[in-house]
Structures are given as structure tokens and as C-alpha cells.
Amino acid sequence: MIVSLVVAYDDCRGIGRGGSLPWHISADLALFKRITWGHHIVMGRQTFESIGRALPGRVTIVVTRSLENVPPGCHRAASLEDALAIAGQAGEQECFVIGGGQLYRAALCHADRIYASEIQGEFNCDTFFPPIQPEEWDERFATTITDERSGMRFRFRVLERRGRALPMPDILSEWANQG
């Protein structure tokens, strides 16, 4: 199973402030939906609480030690490893870790792929995506996108761990077929 991280971060690698996203970029949210649709998504308790519900069209796994009963449509896992085991046992081909900061730090060593939306600007964040070692990753795809609603720009990149022979992600196949 491919383990992928999906993240949006600002110029300082900030991913959140006060338990929520400090920006609203419709084009990035649409990309997130296309990437994760039909797959297992893994998130920490605080990320789940900020979303407030299971996301439709995906299997939600919440990593937590404190949440006794997860809401309908969600699975509970005591650790990242347990969450990945749940997805793997279900036959998942690509499992997506979607935050927050603690879970990204734990998942980075397991990650085969990173889908990163690099939001232009600084947003006074209090939660951050961990640094990656550039020599461990190859850029598979990159494009710059301007959100029609907000006018905000971001660079969307797909990174793959160096030395892995991974199948092309569906979203890249779609872009290749458009051009």
C-alpha cells in the first residue's frame, strides 16, 4: 500500500492556526477531494474535530487515544501504525494522511508520496508541516494554480520518495491526458 501525505502549507510551512485552516482556497479543496476520493484518510483527533464530521466518499480513520466512541462512518485507531493496518487490511492501494502536525511528523518516515499545495504568503500559523530532506524526494509533478474565487496562488507539487517505483497517481494521469 502506498502511504501518501496530503498537505497545504504556507511559505513558513504553516498548516493551521487555532485548530483551523488560516485560508480558504476552493481550488485547493477541490484538489484535495479529487486526490482522496474513494480512499482511506487518516487524521489526528484535533484535525477531525476541526472538520467536525466524516468526509463523504472516503473511509475516515481518526488516530486518538482519548476519543472513546468515534462518530458513525469513522474508525478509531490508537496509533498511526494501527490506522495504516486498518487501511491495508481493507485492501487500500493508497492511504492518505491528512494532518495535523503531530501525525505528519509521525507519518513522514512511512510516506511514499507527498501531495503538497504550497500557499503563497505567511499566515501566522501555530502548527507546522515538518521539514523534509530534499535528497530523499523526487518531484514527480508541479504546477501553479490560481484560485478563481479568492485570487490566491499556490504551487501544487507531487513528491515521491527517491528509489521507489510507484504507479502514476490518478490525478497525474488526468493531467497527462488533458495535455
Q: What percent of the chain has pLDDT over 90?
A: 78
Q: How far is CA 123 from the centre of its chain?
A: 19
Domain that holds residue 124: 2-178
Looking up residue 91, the CATH number of its domain turns out to be: 3.40.430.10
For residue range 62-79, list pLDDT tens digits in order. 998 876 667 777 999 999
Count how many domains the chain has. Answer: 1
Helix or strand or coil: residue 33? helix
Alpha-carbon span 98 to 107, nearest angstrom = 10
The model scores a pTM over 0.85: yes
For residue range 23-66, list pLDDT tens digits in order. 999 999 999 999 999 999 999 988 998 888 889 999 999 998 87
CB atoms near residue 3 (< 10 Å): 22
CA distances from 25 to 90, 118, 150 (A): 32, 12, 7
